Amino acid sequence: MGFNLTQKIIENHLLEGDMVAGQEIGIRIDQTLTQDSTGTMAYLQLEAMEVDRVKTKRSVAYIDHNMLQQGFENADDHKYIQTVTHKHGVYFSRPGNGICHQVHLERFGVPGETLLGSDSHTPTGGGIGMLAIGAGGLDVAVAMGGGTYYITMPKVVNVQLHGRLKPFVTAKDVILEVLRRMSVKGGVGKVIEYTGEGVESLTVPERATITNMGAELGATTSIFPSDEVTLDFLKAQKREDVWLELKPDSDAQYDEVLDINLEELEPLVAKPHSPDNVEKVSNIKNLKVDQVCIGSCTNSSYMDMMKVAKILKGNTVHEDVSLVISPGSKQVLNMIAENGALADMISAGARIIEAGCGPCIGMGQAPASGAVSLRSFNRNFKGRCGTITAGVYLVSPETAAISAIEGVLTDPRQCTMDMCIDMPKIFKIQDNMIVPPAKDGSVVEVVKGPNIKPFPINIPLPDKIEGKALIKVKDNITTDHIMPSNAKLLPYRSNIPYLANYCLTPCDKDFPEKAKNNNGGMVIGGENYGQGSSREHAALAPLHLGIKAVLTKSFARIHKANLINSGILPLTFTDHKDYDDVATNDYLIIEAADEQIKTGQVTVTNITQNKHYQMAIDVSDKELAILLAGGKINYMKQAN
């Protein structure tokens, strides 16, 4: 029986365990990436581990999430990241060089290698055949230090692509169709592997769009084969020496198979407030548009920008629409500036912002109250854009550009122009905004500003855990709900005590005060709790507030791992009716918690209602040891 591509890469990096779905494995990590929202904490943790020099083949730190310097906080954090990476052997991508996933694909990605990133959209690297996984900052810090990355061996879903996309139907529509079929939790515990003759017709940027938004499925990662298309892309980046042909065996086995006929797809849109709330654009009539944003790590490639420029050329953005465009990298911005495409965008009335994440994470360009915002982004969670009353619709860049001209959501197929854009034979190579690490890190002084505070450390798990159910939330609560990361708060990413004052406030504005007044407690959640960003702040802020356990119907993968790393118990209801039963302010007790979790079953007593709830705790032996130690930092100190 042959191997699929996922199994081949895992086997080549397997350090511990067996490749049996559902069992824990340990793999070697070749590359890491961080960004400035999560990176500060990751490097503080790397320093705490007393690692002199990173042990990976390549580690890169990007500044892309928050480059608005309204105060000293951002500049201080950026200076810290630049100096600490210079000291410890990490490449530093300066502000303005571009979004981590776009730049990494262009300049550093290697087919067949493993990439661990402190950003949930790290699977973008699967577009060139990497096994690229998003994780919490601490897991990335451990990998930089040469440590093994542990993960549950995923199931592998084969998405077979047939035919070719029709004009004005895009890679964005492919992943929206997958989301429509599988949902935002349908990929949990799975890798999505794309095969079929339809793959050959997709460029690397198109493949990267699909793997990028695979994060919205809750998938561990997504991956395409490395083929002649991949080679052409790497040749154009003058990196063909890293190319390796990678494909599944002809008799490869998969856990699930999903067939998609590209010929049958049409332009799609994800309606508010979830990426899987998908509808055909043609079915939505007369939706007036107030704002259009084009860019993000999903759709900011050179090819995307050229198509947008071609649509805008000679036209004017509708008077009621604000159009904002953010190219994905300096390389892209340079190229469209030189070939005139940027001038076409500006002439049409587009506002051009620097190469970075920007509006995608609510960092500026918040829409008006009650506005409709079309975005070529990957997430449309309520309030993420910066305006709680706005409705965000996710579409392709082509749909976005045409709608910006028309002023209403418009099916791009009404456009008659030829949208054929050739992939460049050679990209503009200028890596002057990437700073290599110092050869001798011992001479580098690490600079820490006053906003950088120590991260919280838990204590070993006590025999009894008790406290109030401080809050009860519904299904699909995101990390944006748990720890908001808007323009006002992102500058404090390295200051957990400050951030904790806003923990879960989108769900209950009084939650931080309740937690403080009750000496911590527990959180009750529904299905897919913690979906979205990889930010471990969504675990560290609750830890600072004294949260001891989170009781849910189910967890998103990365957030569950972050809770474990922080020493917070991730418990799931054996009977979902118990979720309905427990109420806010009920007093809960877990007796002999340190012994109960060893059995995989935990009894939670509701003192207020005189009831007992049976909870499951699905963790590996290593994760169990981490919880008993009170988190991963404590566990590593014990091991040493």
Catalytic site positions: 64-65, 119, 379, 533, 535
What letters, b where the CB count within 10 A reaches 16 and e where it falls short, cover 75-114? ebbbbbbbbbbbbbbbbbbbbebbbbbbbbbbbbbbbbbb
Task: Give strand ranges (E) for 24-153.
Answer: 24-27, 31-35, 58-62, 91-93, 114-117, 131-134, 149-152
Q: Is 460 exposed, middle or buried (0-12, 13-18, 19+ CB in 10 A)?
A: middle
φ, ψ (nearest 5 deg) of residue 439: -65, -35
Cβ atoms 387, 367 nearer than 8 A: yes
Is 155 in a helix, a strand, or coil?
Answer: strand
φ, ψ (nearest 5 deg) of residue 366: -65, 135
* CA dihedral over 404, 405, 411, 413, signed as positive or negative: negative
Which residues lie closer than 8 Å to 553 by C-beta, 6 or more apart? 475, 525, 526, 527, 529, 572, 573, 576, 579
Tell whether omega for the bond before 273 is within 30 degrees of 0, i.e. cis: yes
Cβ atoms 66, 363 nearer than 8 A: yes
Task: Give strand ranges (E) for 17-148.
Answer: 24-27, 31-35, 58-62, 91-93, 114-117, 131-134
Rounded to an integer, what distance in angstroms lies between the CA atom of residue 419 and that of residue 417?
6
> Three-state secondary structure along 165-193?
CCCCCCHHHHHHHHHHHHCCCCCECEEEE
In the sheet that holds 31-35, the strands lie side by side as 131-134, 114-117, 31-35, 58-62, 91-93, 434-435
